[in-house]
Structure 1
Amino acid sequence: MTNSKFVTFGLAAAVSVLALTIGVSAQAESLNDAIAQAYAQNPTLLRSRAAQRATDETYVQTRSQLGPSLSASASATYNDLPGFTGDRSSTSAGLTANQTVFASGGIASSLKASRANVMAGQENLRSTESGVLLDVISVYTAVRRDQRALQISQDNYDILKQQLDQTQAQFDAGQLTRTDVAQSQARLSASAAALASAQAQLDSDRASYVAIVGQSPVALDAEPDLPGLPADFDAALAAAEKNNPDLQSAQYAADAAKAQVRAERSVFGPTIGLSASTGGTQPGLGVGDITDNDSSSATLRLSIPLFSAGLNGSRVRQATENYNAQLQVVETARRQVISSVSQAWSQMLAAKSAVASNQEQVKAAQIAADGVKVEQQVGLRTNIEVLNAQQELKSAQLALIEAERGQYVAGSQLLSVMGGLTAKAFVPDIQVYDPQEHFDDVKSKGWTPLEPVVHALDGLAAGGN
């Protein structure tokens, strides 16, 4: 078996083994297909959505403080003591209800903090979605680059194999020396090694593709134009400062921390609550009407903390410093956005310039390789010059496909920082997951008619929260 056939066979075998290993049959043919597939099934994205749904429940748990609590109790007692007189057994049952009426703004502030945390979580989810899509684009373009690089390496190997055959024939005819044959053999061996390396790189990126997208790539279409690229740097920066999900999340987190400060301060104020209970006991252990010692009561309770050994003051100071720290997180996120936009914009421009230069280089290298080969046939060029020209052509071709990928990935990174890298932008008809829909579904679960009244009263002390 020749080296060429061996390499071809190895390529086919590697693809077959990979397909059997991952056990999937569907294939994404375009970047939009890959994005839709990952958007629906990527485990990182699904986990983040579930985590956000869990975060939604913290709002419901906080909101429950506005409503009443109702509890029931029952007990049965039996006494077997020496000298005991009267009924040795008794049964009791009771029902108790509690309702907070006013908490000096604590509940309203906690509710505002919970809502802000939910909004911060939604922005984090948007950031995760953008990151997953960026991973899809990165691995998609990597596989496309690797496939093209493998083809370039295969073509180069075939040309060098043909060159070796011609050199060997000329050597047999006494036209070239053993040195010329050795040079051709060395370049062919190096090409075989490069071909194997290109195959290994493709297999590695295929595996990454499966991990991110969820299915194996085979024939991938060319990437579509990136949607929504800005015309200039200022437009990119303005969009990023307005829509970057990490910056938005930090700002919502700061709002939550500010509301938490007010919630902690509320402990110094009065708390007003209502409670009511009813119950009774009866002799014996049976389940009958409880008529003996029936009682009902209603209580209006006012409590004001007078001394807590510094606990309440410490919690307020702690919440204040947490808020100050979160403000710095916002500033850090803002600076990072500016830096990321600048880097992505510069990389995109540099890659664009590299693409144009490499395109010219490939054209010139192709003309040079063809010309040197013709001139070598008439004795104007040596064998090593032919080999060098072919090597320069291959290097130029590989540089071009790397620059093209770099330009596309840099543009994608810019869109991600701007907050514009969304599944909807690439696949307009995709069914978008909206975390707000789930929040709207659960935020009022367990609602009672008293909540608006209590929220309005408590909100007055919370400064309109």
Structure 2
Amino acid sequence: MSNSRRAALLAAACSVGLMAGLASVAHAETLADALALAYQTNPTLQGQRANQRFTDEGVVQAKTAFRPSVTGSASISGTHTELANPGTSAAVVGGQIVQVPNRDHADSAGSGASLSLGQALYTGGRASANLSAAEADVLAGREDLRSVEQSVLGSVIQSYVDVRRDQERLRIAQENVTVLTRQLEESKARFEVGEITRTDVAQSEARLAAAQASLSSAQAILAASRAAYAAVVGQNPTDLAPEPSLAALLPASVEQAFDLVDKNNPSIQAARYAEQAAAARVAAAKAVYRPTVSARAGLGWDASEINSAGRQYGDYDRAVSGSITASVPLFTGGLNASQVRAAKERENAARIAVEGAQRQALQQISTAWNNLLASRANLVSNEEQVRATKIAFEGVRQEQQVGLRTTLDVLNAQLELANAEVALVVARRDEYVASASVLQAMGVLNVANLAPELERYDPVKSYNKVNHAFGWVPWEPVVRAVDKVGGPSTAVKAAPRASTTAPGK
């Protein structure tokens, strides 16, 4: 993290109600601006994208089973040996046979190089199954990335409306302090002329002290919201513009919401792709019982000499070799059977996880939809409460001026008005967050709907970049087609799917 970014986060945590500074900003920050910045810089999202690129490499690695491997090697060696008992040997000297001592050491030297080419011709379907599993992992990873994107965007929306809510609460608290300060001044003035008693003044002082305490609390809450905003978005909130309506994105009925969940919810889709990957790994485990065929060719050069026995520099023996090998396991001590059983249990777990993801998604959409209905009802009630409370407050003030109401009545009316205004601000925030939660449960809380002008990250581009990298050979499709012959099936077993209709429908 840069020093400027760290300073920004510290400023968010330490700033307390900088309303005047916010009002001075010329350009209001919109929700789309916050979403765009978080979409481009949020570390959680960036980390998940890196994880997805890591997963993409699994497909490339699985494809290498269909491609040749070329290995080259070179060596040079030399040995000098001191003989403990060299002995003697007969030699003819001057026409006579005499014994002469042998050499007291032996030298040898050698050098060589080799080049080998290996190609798998048939793996019994194991390579094909591993490739299918890797491709399913990529698809599941994309759904996980989509889920993380939704979570980050949901956090941005919540932190955005939290800051706006707490700014409004601070404004209401400041206005409340201002009104109660004026009320206290009026009470003191009336006390001096004998219209009210010391009790009325004390009541005004007590309410003002409580309002000042509430103001301090509102400042602290706003500072915490600003810090949370900076953590998820990446910068301090400025003058936040009103959030746009999400009504156009919401379904017309809960039935439509349930219909879309099974198709769009990323958790369900990721679980289904994970089930496909598990089924492919079962096929890979079963393929070990089938024969494998591979070809190998080699070319080597070798030069060695003992005691410099006449070989000239550059005299190399050349050897060419080739082989086709077929193998099949006959006995592995139960290893292969155990691996097949383990793969089947992983497939069972993946199948059960699909059911669990569906149930959880149905619970999420049910909870989110009911929260939305409740928040809408609360919003309507709070709007009516604020309207009625304002009328009541003005009426109590006028009645006090003619002696029909006491100072305590005015103070109570002011408190009720402030509480109603705060409740309305909270209700608006809750309704917006509930709307976003419905969209997230449906799987449509994305930048395409929230910030359509923003350039979106496309995981397919990074996948294509590595998938079409160097390594492909012309005969790879032929090897892949041959490898599937007689191989185990990678299809997912049919299983009943969870109902996606609303409970009780």
Q: TM-score, normalised by structure 1?
A: 0.92
> Structure 2: how far apart are the matches of 1:200 and 1:274?
73
Query: Are 1:114 and 1:256, in contact at CA under 8 Å, matched by a contact in 2?
Result: yes
Of structures 1 and 2, the larger Rg is shown by 2
Q: How big is the shift at 1:283?
A: 3.5
In structure 1, the partner of 2:262 is 241
Among 294, 306, 324, the residue aligned to 1:300? 324
Q: How big is the shift at 1:429?
A: 1.4
In structure 2, the partner of 1:447 is 472
> Structure 2: how far apart are the matches of 1:106 and 1:28?
58
Specify the SS of the correspondent of 2:80: coil
In structure 2, the partner of 1:22 is none
The letter of the residue matching 1:453 is: V
Please list, as runs of the form range in 1=range in 2, the aligned pairs for 1:63-462 lying within 5 A after superposition. Answer: 63-82=63-82, 88-226=108-246, 227-283=248-304, 291-445=315-469, 446-462=471-487
Query: Are 1:281 and 1:290, in contact at CA under 8 Å, matched by a contact in 2?
Result: no
The letter of the residue matching 1:14 is: V
Q: How big is the shift at 1:292?
A: 3.1
Q: Is the alpha carbon distance of 1:16 and 1:385 closer, same or farther for their aligned partners in structure 2, counting shifts above 3 Å?
A: closer
Q: How big is the shift at 1:426?
A: 1.5
* Richer in helix (by share): 1
Q: Is the alpha carbon distance of 1:142 and 1:16 closer, same or farther for their aligned partners in structure 2, counting shifts above 3 Å?
A: closer
Q: Is the alpha carbon distance of 1:290 and 1:271 closer, same or farther for their aligned partners in structure 2, counting shifts above 3 Å?
A: farther
> Structure 1: how far apart are the matches of 2:372 and 2:220?
28
- For the aligned residues, what is the CA RMSD? 2.2
The letter of the residue matching 2:434 is: A
Q: How big is the shift at 1:368?
A: 0.5
The answer to whether structure 1 residue 14 and structure 2 residue 16 are counterparts is: yes
Query: Are 2:59 and 2:134, in contact at CA under 8 Å, matched by a contact in 1?
Result: yes
Query: Are 1:78 and 1:89, in contact at CA under 8 Å, matched by a contact in 2?
Result: yes
Number of equivalent positions = 447
Query: Are 1:28 and 1:34, in contact at CA under 8 Å, matched by a contact in 2?
Result: no
> Structure 1: how far apart are the matches of 2:27 and 2:237?
6
Render the CA deviation track for 1:109-133: whole Å, top value 9, x for unaligned: 0000000000000000000000000
Query: Are 1:160 and 1:188, in contact at CA under 8 Å, matched by a contact in 2?
Result: yes
Q: Is the alpha carbon distance of 1:339 and 1:289 closer, same or farther for their aligned partners in structure 2, counting shifts above 3 Å?
A: farther
Render the CA deviation track for 1:70-120: whole Å, top value 9, x for unaligned: 101111111112459986111011011111110110000000000000000
Q: How big is the shift at 1:293?
A: 2.7
Unaligned 5+ segments in structure 1 are 1-11, 20-24
The letter of the residue matching 2:482 is: L
The letter of the residue matching 2:80 is: D
Q: How big is the shift at 1:280?
A: 1.6
Q: Is the alpha carbon distance of 1:390 and 1:290 closer, same or farther for their aligned partners in structure 2, counting shifts above 3 Å?
A: farther
Q: Is the alpha carbon distance of 1:275 and 1:259 closer, same or farther for their aligned partners in structure 2, counting shifts above 3 Å?
A: same
> Structure 2: how far apart are the matches of 1:33 and 1:97?
56
Specify the SS of the correspondent of 1:381: coil
The letter of the residue matching 1:229 is: L
> Structure 1: how far apart are the matches of 2:452 and 2:385?
38
The letter of the residue matching 1:330 is: V
Query: Are 1:92 and 1:290, in contact at CA under 8 Å, matched by a contact in 2?
Result: no
In structure 1, the partner of 2:50 is 50
Query: Are 1:66 and 1:100, in contact at CA under 8 Å, matched by a contact in 2?
Result: yes
> Structure 2: how far apart are the matches of 1:462 and 1:302?
16
Query: Are 1:26 and 1:216, in contact at CA under 8 Å, matched by a contact in 2?
Result: no
Query: Are 1:103 and 1:266, in contact at CA under 8 Å, matched by a contact in 2?
Result: yes
The letter of the residue matching 1:251 is: R
Query: Are 2:283 and 2:488, in contact at CA under 8 Å, matched by a contact in 1?
Result: no
Query: Are 2:28 and 2:241, in contact at CA under 8 Å, matched by a contact in 1?
Result: no
> Structure 1: how far apart are the matches of 2:463 and 2:185?
71
The letter of the residue matching 1:441 is: K
> Structure 2: how far apart are the matches of 1:13 and 1:331?
47
Query: Are 1:37 and 1:214, in contact at CA under 8 Å, matched by a contact in 2?
Result: yes
In structure 1, the partner of 2:93 is none
In structure 2, the partner of 1:4 is none
Q: Is the alpha carbon distance of 1:311 and 1:410 closer, same or farther for their aligned partners in structure 2, counting shifts above 3 Å?
A: same
Q: Is the alpha carbon distance of 1:117 and 1:297 closer, same or farther for their aligned partners in structure 2, counting shifts above 3 Å?
A: same
> Structure 2: how far apart are the matches of 1:329 and 1:270?
34
Q: Is the alpha carbon distance of 1:290 and 1:187 closer, same or farther for their aligned partners in structure 2, counting shifts above 3 Å?
A: farther
Q: Which moved more, 1:84-93 or 1:116-125?
A: 84-93
Query: Are 1:28 and 1:217, in contact at CA under 8 Å, matched by a contact in 2?
Result: no
> Structure 2: how far apart are the matches of 1:203 and 1:408?
21
